[in-house]
Amino acid sequence: MIHTIELKSDNLHGSFSNAYKPILTVDSGDSIRMQTPDIEWGYSRTKGTDREFFRSAVKEENPLHPMVGPIEVKGAKPGMVLEVKLNDVVPGWYGTNWAGGKKSWQNDVLGLTGSDRIRLDWELNPFAMTASTKIGSRPIHVGLNPFIGLMGVAPAEHGVHHTSPPRYCGGNIDCKELKRGSTLYLPVSVEGALFSIGDGHAAQGDGEVSGTAIECPMDLVDITLTLREDLQLKMPRANTPEGWITFGFNEDLNLAAGQALDEMVELLRDLHQLDRTEALALASVTVDLRVTQVVNGVKGVHAVLPHGAVR
């Protein structure tokens, strides 16, 4: 079955909690189509039209990323895995990114002060797959790589949880490989899973070094949610057009890398019936470790096993 979620405040929230009531209940295998707002909780359908702004339905004290949801999946129980297939991701016509202006290690390294702040407004062309802006009078063009920055199920822990740090149950992963054609696997922590999605990005480099990608609304996000009882995961995992991906999240970048590697070793063992030492040796010649982001408080590293690397 295909469901459509209307873009309105009643369907948005800006934090995670297992106490939030679902806006929609679906069966395993159902698809959902929606639009998502930009990072400033706004949406403009076409160039020249004013942005409509939205608010969180749950009225948190400090909402951050606007997310659509939560979406309940019938039959989901802790210990299962929720498969999230990204059938299509189509960005809107505009996006924005920022640099400088606040205390951060990046700004300290570069010698930037609070007055050194820039906002770039980008015009997006999803047909030509380009984004254009100006720095001073100079036109700048980059290629688009639209993806979803934030996908997660509700955590088992009680209370209201900020959207910024990625977690074992997903969230603000900000991995540019999670684009059209990718499938994300999330360990379910609560009854019904309570899945949420948002934070559209038009383009981003690994690291997301200024703190923002080209943050944009999405004119279409088309996903399919499927329960998997044949998988057991403690961390998110993804199968993307580029390859299999495992993740590590920690305030310490070394520990995040270690977690991503450990998850990849386990994946290689499952795929190729290896012991841990054999899997580590194979990983050393086939797997790339990439810094997903360094700006969300909890840093992210993802390990990539390209399709066809092991034959």
List the domain range (segments joined by +) for residue 170: 2-95+145-234
Q: Residue 108 pLDDT more than 90? A: no
Does 155 fall in a domain?
A: yes
Identify the domain boundary among 184, 212, 234. 234
Query: How much is the average pLDDT of 183-211?
Result: 97
Confidence grade of residue 113 (pLDDT, cut at 50, 70, 90): confident
Assess whether 246 and 109 both reside in one domain: no
**At 284, which CATH number?**
3.10.28.20
The confidence score (pLDDT) of residue 104 equals 76
Task: Compute the distance between CA of residue 299 and CA of residue 103 in angstroms, rounded to an integer.
Answer: 17
Q: Residue 122 pLDDT more than 90? A: yes
Assess whether 299 and 156 both reside in one domain: no
pLDDT tens-place string over residues 25-42: 999 999 999 999 999 999
Q: Residue 107 pLDDT more than 80? A: no
Assess whether 154 and 196 both reside in one domain: yes
The confidence score (pLDDT) of residue 112 equals 72
Assess whether 207 and 87 both reside in one domain: yes
pLDDT tens-place string over residues 274-309: 999 999 999 999 999 999 999 999 999 999 999 999
Q: Residue 110 pLDDT more than 90? A: no
285 sits in which H/E element: helix 276-286
Assess whether 89 and 115 both reside in one domain: no
pLDDT tens-place string over residues 124-169: 999 999 999 999 889 999 999 999 999 999 999 999 999 999 999 9
Do 73 and 191 contact (CB within 8 A), yes or no? no
278 sits in which H/E element: helix 276-286
Assess whether 266 and 177 both reside in one domain: no
The confidence score (pLDDT) of residue 114 equals 67
Identify the domain boundary among 234, 260, 284. 234
Assess whether 181 and 81 both reside in one domain: yes
Q: Residue 245 pLDDT more than 80? A: yes
Confidence grade of residue 109 (pLDDT, cut at 50, 70, 90): confident
The pair phi, psi for residue 268, each rounded to 5°, is -60, -40
For residue 64, the Cα-to-chain-centroid distance in whole angstroms is 14
Do 99 and 109 contact (CB within 8 A), yes or no? no
Assess whether 89 and 108 both reside in one domain: no
Does 76 fall in a domain?
A: yes
Assess whether 75 and 109 both reside in one domain: no
Three-class SS state of 9:
helix
Picking from 190, 202, 149, 238, the residue whose alpha carbon sits closest to that of residue 22 is 190
The pair phi, psi for residue 213, each rounded to 5°, is -85, -165
Assess whether 180 and 216 both reside in one domain: yes
What percent of the chain is predicted at pLDDT more than 90? Answer: 90
**At 42, which CATH number?**
2.60.120.580
Kindly report the average pLDDT of the chain as a whole number. 95
The confidence score (pLDDT) of residue 106 equals 75
Assess whether 208 and 257 both reside in one domain: no
The confidence score (pLDDT) of residue 67 equals 98
Does 33 fall in a domain?
A: yes
Assess whether 86 and 112 both reside in one domain: no
270 sits in which H/E element: helix 253-272
